[in-house]
Amino acid sequence: MIKIKVPATSANLSVGFDCMGMAVNQYAYFTFQNNSKWLTINGCPKKFQNENNLVYKAFIKGCRVLKQPVPNVKITIQTEVPVSRGLGSSATCIVGGLKGAFEWFHHPISKQKLTQLAATMEGHPDNVAPAIYGGVCMAFNNQNDQVHVVKYPVNSIWKFLAIVPDFKISTQEARTVLPEQLSYQDATFQISHCLLMTHAIQGKRFSTLKEAMQDQMHEPFRKHLIKGYDQVKTITDQMHGILYISGSGSTLMLITNNVNDRQKIAKTIQNQFKKWQVKPISIDSNGIQSEVDINE
Ligand SMILES: Nc1ncnc2c1ncn2[C@@H]1O[C@H](COP(=O)(O)OP(=O)(O)O)[C@@H](O)[C@H]1O
Ligand SMILES: N[C@@H](CCOP(=O)(O)O)C(=O)O
């Protein structure tokens, strides 16, 4: 049996639209086994238990890349990553399915190649890169469509809180609200703030990270999709927190520099949003893990 563990990811990190992401300690587990039927998929909502399942599609893509026939397979999914909440559930499926195919045919695959294939399926590399490498990553495709990944160190002072609303936002839909063009002024603002952010997360200064995490590229257009955003932003601003929309939402990610503030903010938000999940989260530094169990 092939067992694969893929971390959830929080993409964009405020000012790194489509190129920055962070792996976090919530996981999707996928197993791939021989099957007498052509396909069985367990452990996910009924509507995903068919050939359109993203894990299976990625598995097929992996088989095609290897020029191998698609085998009969039983896929079991067990996941802590909520669907369409901006925590990279689709990236876990794509990365897990591709890796599953390479393991199936005992074919090693480099992290770079896996990122390349996964980013092509996902359409942007900012979730798949940290899901594969772990930590905070910057990733982009160059003009020859080769993916570049850089992993940034993060100071252990930063504490994270995932604020997960009780409603979904599909990434596809959240991309339709973005404008088609950006002015030079906004581009300069964004580049400078993203550079500052990559510097600030390595350091300890709260005011520098807060200054850096002011996005102009997607949050102003997406925040209206998240009912409660303004309320949460007011609380976090007043209580020594930094807030950004995780991926395309609906999750809001809070950053503080001490666990006491994080706990107080969590309590205040949970009191006002009883149906939301408010949970401390930390960085996963390993990325995808896989093992083949020959006894199962
Ligand atoms: N557990 C799962 N089983 C099957 N498909 C899943 C699962 N989790 C996510 N997906 C796929 O990923 C899609 C959600 O992707 P997306 O809207 O980008 O949200 P997210 O921000 O969570 O990545 C789902 O519509 C489905 O196709
Ligand atoms: N850069 C993408 C990231 C989407 O992340 P997800 O976790 O919501 O799938 C975007 O902002 O559209």
Query: What's the CATH number where 86 sits?
Result: 3.30.230.10
Atom of ligand 2 nearest to the CA of 218: 11
pLDDT tens per residue, range 55-64: 999 999 999 9
Task: Identify whether residues 56 and 176 lie together within a single domain.
Answer: no
Residue 247 CB–ligand 2 contact under 6 Å: yes
Is the pLDDT score of 294 beyond 80? no
Q: How many domains would you assign to the chain?
A: 2
Tell me the mean pLDDT in the region 141-170: 95
pLDDT tens per residue, range 234-288: 999 999 999 999 999 999 999 999 999 999 999 999 999 999 999 999 999 999 9
Task: Identify whether residues 273 and 126 lie together within a single domain.
Answer: no
Residue 3 is predicted with a pLDDT of 97
Give the up-direction half-sphere exposure of residue 190: CA atoms within 13 A in the CB hemisphere: 21
Task: Identify whether residues 181 and 215 lie together within a single domain.
Answer: yes
Is the pLDDT score of 90 beyond 90? yes
Q: Is 92 annotated as a binding residue?
A: yes
Residue 86 CB–ligand 2 contact under 6 Å: yes
Tell me the mean pLDDT in the region 69-93: 97
Which CATH number fits the domain that encloses residue 222?
3.30.70.890
Task: Identify whether residues 248 and 191 lie together within a single domain.
Answer: yes
Is the pLDDT score of 21 beyond 90? yes
Of the chain, the percentage scoring pLDDT greater than 70 comes to 100
Residue 252 is predicted with a pLDDT of 98
Q: Which residues line ligand 1 (CB under 6 A)?
A: 44, 48, 53-54, 77, 79, 83-90, 93, 170-171, 247
The protein residue with its alpha carbon nearest to ligand 2, atom 5, reads 247
Residue 128: which residues within 8 A CB-CB, separation 6 or more? 9, 91, 94, 95, 115, 118, 119, 122, 139
Task: Identify whether residues 202 and 138 lie together within a single domain.
Answer: no
Task: Identify whether residues 137 and 209 lie together within a single domain.
Answer: no
3-class SS shares of the chain: helix, strand, coil, % to 5:
35, 25, 40
Q: How confident is the model at residue 177 (pLDDT cuts 50, 70, 90)?
A: very high
Atom of ligand 1 nearest to the CA of 169: 17
163 bridge partner residues: 252, 278
Phi then psi for 6, rounded to 5 degrees? -125, 130
| C-alpha torsion angle, residues 48, 49, 51, 55 (rounded to 10) | 60
Residue 129 is predicted with a pLDDT of 98
141 bridge partner residues: 147
ipTM above 0.90? yes
Q: Is 87 annotated as a binding residue?
A: yes
121-152: burial string, b at 16+ Cβ within 10 Å, e else:
bbebbbbbbbbbbbbbbbbbbeeeeebebebb
Task: Identify whether residues 29 and 45 lie together within a single domain.
Answer: yes
Question: 4 near 104, Cβ under 8 Å?
Answer: no
Residue 133 is predicted with a pLDDT of 98
Which tokens belong to 159? 């504490």
Task: Identify whether residues 94 and 240 lie together within a single domain.
Answer: no
Please state, rounded to an integer, the average pLDDT across all residues of the chain.
Answer: 96
Atom of ligand 1 nearest to the CA of 122: 18
Q: How confident is the model at residue 220 (pLDDT cuts 50, 70, 90)?
A: very high
Report strand pairing: 147-152 vs 20-34: unpaired
CB atoms inside a 10 Å sphere around CB 110: 9
Is the pLDDT score of 296 beyond 90? no
Containing structural domain, residue 120: 2-152+284-292
Question: How far apart are the CA of 91 and the centre of ligand 1, in A?
Answer: 8
Which ligand is closest in space to the CA of residue 24? Answer: 2
191 bridge partner residues: none
Residue 280 is predicted with a pLDDT of 98
pLDDT tens per residue, range 27-53: 999 999 999 999 999 999 999 999 999
Question: 162 near 281, Cβ under 8 Å?
Answer: yes
Spatial distance between the Cα atoms of 114 and 109, rounded to a whole number of angstroms: 6
Task: Identify whether residues 148 and 288 lie together within a single domain.
Answer: yes
Spatial distance between the Cα atoms of 129 and 134, rounded to a whole number of angstroms: 8
Task: Identify whether residues 60 and 132 lie together within a single domain.
Answer: yes
Tell me the mean pLDDT in the region 72-91: 97
Residue 293 is predicted with a pLDDT of 83
Q: Which of 124, 72, 122, 130 is nearest to 98 (CA)?
A: 122
Task: Identify whether residues 247 and 221 lie together within a single domain.
Answer: yes
Task: Identify whether residues 10 and 134 lie together within a single domain.
Answer: yes
pLDDT tens per residue, range 109-151: 999 999 999 999 999 999 999 999 999 999 999 888 899 999 9
pLDDT tens per residue, range 183-208: 999 999 999 999 999 999 999 999 99
